[in-house]
Amino acid sequence: MATVSLHHVAKIFGAFNAVQDLSLEIADCEFLVLLGPSGCGKTTTMRMIAGLEDPTAGDILIDGARVNDRPARDRDLAMVFQNYGLYPHMTVAQNIGYPLKVRGLPRAERETRVKAAAARVELSSLLDRRPAELSGGQRQRVALARAVVRTPRLFLMDEPLSNLDAKLRTSMRAQLKHLQRDLATTTIYVTHDQTEAMTLADRIVVMKDGRIQQSGTPAEIYARPGNIFVAGFVGSPPMNLLAGTVSDGRFSHDAGSMVLAGHSGPVVLGVRPEDVSVVGADEGDLRGRVYSSELLGDSVLLGITVGNDLVNVKVGPEGGRAIGSEIAIRLNPAKLHVFHHDTGLRLAEAGQ
Amino acid sequence: MNQSFNARRAGLLALNIVLGLVILAPFFWMVSVSLKPAAEPFAIPARLWPQDPTLDNYINAFRPEFRTYFVNSVIVSLLTVVITVSLALFAAYAFTRSQFRLLTVAMTLVIVAQMFPASAIIIPIYKLMRSADLLNTYTSLVLAYVTVTLPVAIWMLRGFMANLPLTLEEAAAIDGAGPLRTFIEIIVPLCRPGIVATSVFVLIVTWQEFLFALSFTSTKDMRTLPVGMNDFIGQYGIRYGELMASSVLISLPVIVIFFLLQRQFVAGLTAGAVKG
């Protein structure tokens, strides 16, 4: 139960600006995901909130109180580390109970709460093992149980699923989301995996080069990416980005042209793979040639060379095409994203 | 290719056998002489193994004084091990984790100080002990031994601690533990293999030390084992049989301890701490 505010926070390591002028408000009980490629400053931001790094500038407030000078142990939060951070010389039960032991809880109460936390993440049968005897998924759950054994003000999770295999990751993701709803505790979650961000977050903050690129609900970020970087980072497969020129209400590209009102000059046109349709060679907006055709089960992913660009198109399971065939594509005019060619910023839609 | 590989292995094996023989030869000679009757060590031609092995030398070596020396050695060595390793743990942790630049210089100075030969510093230390009225006490020996062994002990433990993942200390901080608590409950237990190795090192150095023990102790009841062996070196001759028998007796505890703890040296304790 806590709110977190970052006011113009910066972190400089030597000559490297890890985080620059970052301001952010996190609401009580919110599940906030910091999303970005490696080196974007998301982990550094989390570590500053945790108290494991000191900000070079700016203020960090938890529940309205400035915590810059408060050591990690006094911030009343729990953290799950990317590499788990389990104590190898302690059993699972001792690992989970350590935060309680440090706080001087009586042994009997500790035992009850350790058992409850272990049951929550289905670890009850492994309490006497040591971390070395556990699988990756089990270690992950021990780390999680250690975080939920008390009721901290804040959960911090640093890529907690990145060391698990794909199948386990999907099921742990669902467990995590469920757990957070159950505990109703403000959670900050760091990941570079956009699927994790989309599925877990109440709100996503996309970061790059130490700066916030965009902040919004997963639906907002997906539907209206604020710049080319966000457009290319969120969504799988990523949004198609085509550079071209607009004049007299038409967008011209090497491979053809189409109607695009309300803009002029060089732009980058973005369109998601599911918002493109494939039509006969003479019927579409842009001509192309099929480069690849992959059946994904419930859909087919087509790769189409359009001029010098490769456009991904998602079509129905019957929509496979022969590689090398000449076709054309049509872009859904209601689902186009237009970005400034130089700044990469999203341009207002026509009529807005 | 396989053949040359086998040839290399054979070569390495031969080299190891030769090195092993070179290292073991003095031990063999020590045991051999200790079993020879008084006249035999100088018999010509020399025999590798005594013709009539006898335990007389051991019976002679195991005098009442030997027990006093043994107790003295145990007291001095154990105190030294406990004090040195405790101090070294704290120092090594500071040297490992502190960002303070001057500490790197200090660390180098620590090892440079270690390079002075004992014979060069023994006279000033003797004078210090005398003015502190500590001569012929356990304290004088323990102080000297801690001084001599501490630098290497710090280096050994520092090398060990540097390999501990930082995440564990961060996890402890998040869990609410202060620096001292983290050190005692997380760092020290994880350093166990390093602590064992360092303790054995300090024990061996202290157990066999001769120069300080000879200089600082003046009465028989304060002598340690290596100095006690001097009893067999007299004005008119050296009683080699008894000398070697006591050498064997003195070496035995260290050899036994070493083999008992050998497995502890394998630093497998951090397995499972972090993914990897």
Given A77, A83, A103, which is nearest B167 (Cβ)?
Answer: A83
Contact B171 A87 (CB under 8 A): yes
Q: Are A117 and A183 in contact (CB under 8 A)?
A: no
Q: What percent of chain A has pLDDT over 90?
A: 76
Q: Are A24 and A5 in contact (CB under 8 A)?
A: yes
Question: What is the DSSP track for A161-202?
Answer: TTTS-HHHHHHHHHHHHHHHHHHT-EEEEEES-HHHHHHH-S
How does pLDDT run across B210-234, given as a tens digit for each residue? 888 888 888 888 888 888 888 888 7
Q: What percent of chain A has pLDDT over 70?
A: 99
How does pLDDT run across B33-58, given as a tens digit for each residue? 888 887 766 766 777 787 778 888 88
Which residues on adjacent β-strands are paired with residue A25? A5
Find, among B184, B185, B181, B175, the residue nearest to A80 by Cα.
B175
Give ∠ CA A9-A14-A15 in degrees, rounded to 5. 90
Q: Are A131 and A137 in contact (CB under 8 A)?
A: no
Contact A79 B174 (CB under 8 A): yes
Residue B249 clears pLDDT 80, i.e. is over it: yes
| B173 CB-contact burial (10 Å; exposed 0-12 / middle 13-18 / buried 19+) | buried
ipTM given for this complex: 0.85
Q: What's the rounded mean pLDDT across residues B232-261?
A: 85
So what's the pLDDT on residue B266?
A: 55
**Which residues does chain A have within 8 Å of residue B193's beta carbon, measured at their own beta carbons?**
none
A292 phi/psi in degrees, rounded to 5: -150, 155
Six token digits for residue A152: 């901290």
Residue ranges of the domains in chain B? 1-54, 60-265
Q: Are A329 and A306 in contact (CB under 8 A)?
A: yes
Q: How far is A210 from chain B (nearest CA, A)?
A: 23
Residue ranges of the domains in chain A? 4-231, 237-340
Residue A211 clears pLDDT 90, i.e. is over it: yes
How does pLDDT run across A75-118, given as a tens digit for each residue? 999 999 998 899 999 999 999 999 999 999 999 999 999 999 99
| CATH assignment of A237-340, among 3.30.460.80, 2.40.50.140, 3.20.20.70, 2.60.40.10 | 2.40.50.140
Chosen for mutation from B163, B167, B174 (greatest number of chain A CBs closer than 10 Å) is B174
Q: How far is A113 from chain B (nearest CA, A)?
A: 15
Six token digits for residue B221: 């009841």
CA A22, CA A56: separation in Å to the nearest integer?
12
Six token digits for residue B16: 């190891």
Q: How far is B128 from chain A (nearest CA, A)?
A: 44
The highest-level CATH class for domain A4-231 is: alpha beta
- The contact set of A with B (CB < 8 A) is 50-52, 71-74, 77-79, 81-89, 98-99, 102-103, 130-134, 136, 139, 146, 156, 163
Residue A150 clears pLDDT 80, i.e. is over it: yes
Question: What is the DSSP track for B183-252?
Answer: IIIIIHHHTHHHHHHHHHHHHHHHHT--HHHHHH--SGGG--HHHHGGGGEETTEE-HHHHHHHHHHHHH
Distance of CA A125 to the CA centre of its chain: 33
Contact B53/A at CB under 8 A? no
Q: Are A88 and A32 in contact (CB under 8 A)?
A: no
Residue A13 makes CB contacts below 8 A (sequence gap 6+) with none
Which one is predicted more confidently, A202 or A172? A202
Q: How far is A84 from chain B (nearest CA, A)?
A: 6
Contact B272 A52 (CB under 8 A): no
CA A36, CA A208: separation in Å to the nearest integer?
6
Radius of gyration of chain A (CA): 24
Contact B272 A88 (CB under 8 A): yes
Q: How far is A7 from chain B (nearest CA, A)?
A: 23
Task: Categorise residue A245: left if φ over 0, alpha if ψ from -120 to 50, beta otherwise.
Answer: beta
- What is the CATH topology of the domain spanning B60-265? MetI-like fold (1.10.3720)
So what's the pLDDT on residue A351?
A: 44
